[in-house]
């Protein structure tokens, strides 16, 4: 257990200190040998032609230069057949629990019709779960973090069942697409335990000093960008098992294609999403991943120390540490109230829609817009299904639940 119940009334609370060590290092020249290239028809009905490894290399869609990995989509040719040439890769190894840390210089940029994702998925979808760490479409301005399960799991006040899942868009304007790239990239980390699944996003300016090291410790990183807490409403171990890591960039399909006609910016560009993606290759010159490193860590050991209720949680690199919350299955979680005092920057923060529809007011924090649940912040009552500012051009007028994929990414 990484987060333990606060013991109110006794003056002390146990605080779990987790230690992680490298299990698999996908970085550099090892990268593509640890993945398989998926060439099947896109399960999200995208207008995409996933190519094999030899074709990807021959067409300069994949490369490793000085240890830096690139995965691209075609931006030169008018597409035909199944669609625009692109890459989808799945890790050979599977994982249950652990810490995944992805350091990116670049993710696929904002472009009408695009749908990139970095995610994890179990073998029997949705019963073994899906964890979407980075995902979005078209001109989306911040990351969509989503969990998909069978019917027995609810977190952040929502059912995680099936293709809708339980989802939150967080991280601020530097967490996704052009905003991420223009800010010099960043680091995403996902910690998965029996008690919770936490996702962290940090800009490169203020990330914790140990996040790329041999023994990272998320308990010192401050509050996660998104926190999906198990408990009575979701048995995480029963719903998330044996996950592969996946990178893909698709186009149109059951999300980006489905909302094309109602998109005020992209819709006027062509009659359909497929028409645009097929005939406008130059729109996708930024449709590539540039990966500095990807590592999966397993828990080496853990210990528990007593911390006084009114004392600060131990932290060497962050202004705020995670709040113990194992007994609250729907409470929102916020990001640090100040940037971590380390070499890289915390992007954003907070998450969650409690079951009663109460959410935290959207107040800018540091260089990314987010929300906080600390005592110095105001809360407001808003509908459980919120309107979201989804496009760079302003509010889309569509609900977050409608914009979630209506799809299955598994094969």
- Which active-site residues does the annotation give? 130, 135
Counting Cα atoms < 13 Å in the Cβ hemisphere of 316 gives 7
How far apart are the C-alpha atoms of 325 and 196, rounded to whole Å?
Answer: 10
Counting Cα atoms < 13 Å in the Cβ hemisphere of 242 gives 8
Tell whether the torsion through CA atoms of 343, 168, 14 and 309 is positive or negative.
Answer: positive
* Contact assessment for residue 254 and residue 45, using Cβ atoms and an 8 Å cutoff: yes
The three-class DSSP label of residue 231 is strand
Dihedral angle computed from the Cα positions of residues 385, 387, 392 and 393, in that order, rounded to the nearest 10 degrees = 160
Structure-token pair, residue 319: 């202004």
For residue 332, the 8-state DSSP code is -
Structure-token pair, residue 289: 């991943």
How far apart are the C-alpha atoms of 350 and 360, rounded to whole Å?
Answer: 8
* Contact assessment for residue 160 and residue 136, using Cβ atoms and an 8 Å cutoff: no
Q: Check residue 160 and give left, alpha or beta (phi > 0: left; psi -120 to 50: alpha).
A: alpha
The three-class DSSP label of residue 63 is strand
Measured between alpha carbons, how far is residue 398 from residues 68, 138, 228, 390, 391 in Å?
Answer: 38, 14, 24, 8, 10
How far apart are the C-alpha atoms of 189 and 197, rounded to whole Å?
Answer: 10
How far apart are the C-alpha atoms of 5 and 16, rounded to whole Å?
Answer: 10
Burial of 149 (0-12, 13-18, 19+ CB in 10 A): buried
Q: Check residue 260 and give left, alpha or beta (phi > 0: left; psi -120 to 50: alpha).
A: alpha
């Amino acid at each position: 257990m990484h987060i333990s119940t606060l013991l109110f009334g006794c003056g002390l609370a146990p605080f779990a200190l987790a230690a992680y060590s490298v299990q698999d290092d996908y970085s550099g020249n090892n990268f593509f040998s640890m993945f398989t290239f998926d060439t099947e028809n896109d399960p999200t009905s995208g207008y995409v032609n996933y190519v094999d490894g030899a074709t990807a290399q021959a067409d300069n869609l994949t490369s490793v230069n000085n240890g830096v990995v690139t995965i691209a989509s075609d931006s030169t040719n008018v597409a035909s057949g199944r669609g625009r040439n692109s890459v989808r890769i799945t890790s050979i190894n599977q994982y249950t629990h652990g810490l995944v840390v992805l350091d990116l210089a670049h993710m696929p940029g904002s472009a009408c019709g695009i749908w990139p994702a970095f995610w994890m998925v179990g073998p029997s979808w949705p019963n073994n779960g899906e964890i979407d760490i980075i995902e979005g479409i078209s001109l989306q301005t911040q990351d969509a973090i989503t969990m998909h399960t069978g019917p027995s799991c609810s977190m952040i006040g929502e059912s995680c069942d099936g293709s809708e899942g339980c989802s939150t868009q967080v991280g601020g304007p530097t967490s996704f697409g052009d905003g991420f790239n223009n800010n010099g990239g960043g680091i995403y980390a996902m910690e998965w335990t029996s008690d919770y699944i936490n996702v962290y996003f940090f800009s490169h300016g203020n990330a914790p000093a140990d996040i790329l090291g041999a023994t990272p410790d998320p308990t010192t990183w401050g509050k996660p960008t998104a926190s999906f807490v198990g408990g009575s409403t979701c048995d995480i171990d029963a719903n998330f098992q044996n996950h592969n890591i996946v990178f893909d960039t698709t186009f149109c399909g059951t999300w980006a294609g489905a909302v094309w006609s109602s998109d005020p910016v992209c819709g006027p560009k062509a009659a359909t999403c497929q028409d645009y993606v097929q005939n406008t290759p130059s729109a996708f010159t930024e449709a590539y991943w540039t990966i500095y490193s990807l590592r999966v860590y397993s828990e080496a050991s853990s210990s528990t120390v007593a911390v006084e209720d009114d004392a600060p949680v131990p932290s060497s690199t962050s202004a705020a540490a995670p709040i113990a919350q194992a007994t609250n299955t729907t409470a929102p979680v916020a990001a640090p109230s100040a940037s971590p005092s380390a070499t890289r920057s915390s992007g954003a923060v907070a998450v969650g829609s409690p079951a009663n529809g109460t959410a935290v007011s959207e107040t800018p924090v540091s260089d990314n817009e987010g929300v906080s649940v600390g005592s110095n912040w105001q809360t407001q009552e808003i509908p459980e299904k919120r309107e979201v500012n989804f496009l760079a051009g302003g509010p889309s007028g569509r609900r977050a639940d409608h914009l979630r994929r209506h799809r299955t990414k598994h094969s």
